[in-house]
Amino acid sequence: MKIAAGVGKNLAIVKAAQKVDFEVILTKSEDELLDLLITGSVDAAVRGSLSASQLMSKLRENYPEVSRASFLEINGHQFLLAPVGIDEGDTLEKKEKIIDNGVQFLKDNGFEPKVAVLSGGRPQDRGRSSRIDSSIREAEQLTMITKDKYPVKHYFILIEDAVSDGANLILAPDGICGNLIFRSLVLMGSIKSYGAVTLGVKEIFIDTSRSQNEEGYLQALKFAGKLAKLREE
């Protein structure tokens, strides 16, 4: 098995690559990393500490609906958090596509999907601001148009209830909120992160924060290897 990983300013990815039991090809450019992945020269790729904006821009040349979902674990419960790219999930249609792709990923990897849609307030917070009203209204619309396809529930702002109820695909109001939730839970908190699954592509590409530590990169590399092995089977 071969996994490509990107090396930018954060060299923790280099140390992590030395601790796995498969071959890791280290690359220093976005073009080289994607070339290895798309040509099938490697079984999967991990962003490491290369530029997210450049990589995602290049991926979208072939996959216009690409988005990212962080694969997280707390107290043994694993779930996807999406969107986590700050420019992702900014329309109702894009959120619906993220749910479609996220549910497919969960099914492909042995999970029974349970979707939680978040919004910017509690039910009784309607009327406090137009932004809160808009967020709640859009979450209700999204729940309505997806409920006949998947088990989905609108949890309003109560992400803690979504996790305790066992939701394994949690949809933030937008990519900025999702990115902030990720940073709070993982980079400042203690939740385990396996990196972000790239949805809407046929290849296995795991996104990682440039601020991640060695242990975080190690988890992402192992996760990429696990997904590649499952695909082979």
Q: Quick one: pLDDT at residue 38?
A: 92
Asked if the model's pLDDT at residue 226 lies above 80, the reply is yes
Q: Based on the domain organization, do 214 and 177 belong to the same domain?
A: no
Q: Based on the domain organization, do 2 and 89 belong to the same domain?
A: no
Q: What is the mean pLDDT of the chain?
A: 94
Q: How far apart are CA 59 and CA 96, in angstroms?
A: 20
Judge contact between 178 and 83, C-beta under 8 A.
Answer: yes
Q: Based on the domain organization, do 17 and 109 belong to the same domain?
A: no
pLDDT tens-digit map of 89-118 = 999 999 999 999 999 999 999 999 999 999
Q: Quick one: pLDDT at residue 117?
A: 98
pLDDT tens-digit map of 171-196 = 999 999 999 999 999 989 989 999 99
Q: Based on the domain organization, do 115 and 213 belong to the same domain?
A: no
Q: Based on the domain organization, do 90 and 177 belong to the same domain?
A: yes
Q: Based on the domain organization, do 169 and 94 belong to the same domain?
A: yes
Q: Based on the domain organization, do 138 and 174 belong to the same domain?
A: yes
DSSP state of 154: E
pTM: 0.90
Q: How many other C-beta atoms lie within 10 A of the C-beta of residue 113?
A: 19
Residue showing tokens 């939701």: 167
Q: Based on the domain organization, do 166 and 107 belong to the same domain?
A: yes
Rg (CA), the chain: 17
pLDDT tens-digit map of 44-65 = 999 998 988 888 888 888 888 8
Return the ∠ at Cα 113 (arms to 110 and 116), rounded to 5°: 150
Q: Based on the domain organization, do 98 and 129 belong to the same domain?
A: yes
Q: Quick one: pLDDT at residue 160?
A: 97
Question: Which domain does 153 fall in, by range?
Answer: 69-194
Q: Based on the domain organization, do 103 and 181 belong to the same domain?
A: yes
Question: Percent of the chain scored above 90 by pLDDT?
Answer: 83
Residue 188's beta-bridge partner residues?
none
Which residues neighbour 138 within 8 Å (Cβ) at sequence distance 6 or greater?
92, 95, 119, 173
**CATH number of domain containing 99:** 3.40.718.10
**CATH number of domain containing 218:** 3.40.50.2300
Q: How many domains does the chain have?
A: 2
**What are residue 198's phi and psi, to 5 degrees?**
-90, 115
Mean of pLDDT values over 207-225: 92
Q: Based on the domain organization, do 97 and 206 belong to the same domain?
A: no
pLDDT higher at 232 or 93: 93
Helices 130-146 and 92-108: crossing angle in degrees, nearest 10, is 50
Encoding tokens for residue 77?
């419960």
Q: Based on the domain organization, do 83 and 156 belong to the same domain?
A: yes
What sections of 109-213 are H helices per DSSP? Answer: 130-146, 159-164, 175-182
* Residue type, position 62, single letter: N
Judge contact between 168 and 109, C-beta under 8 A.
Answer: no
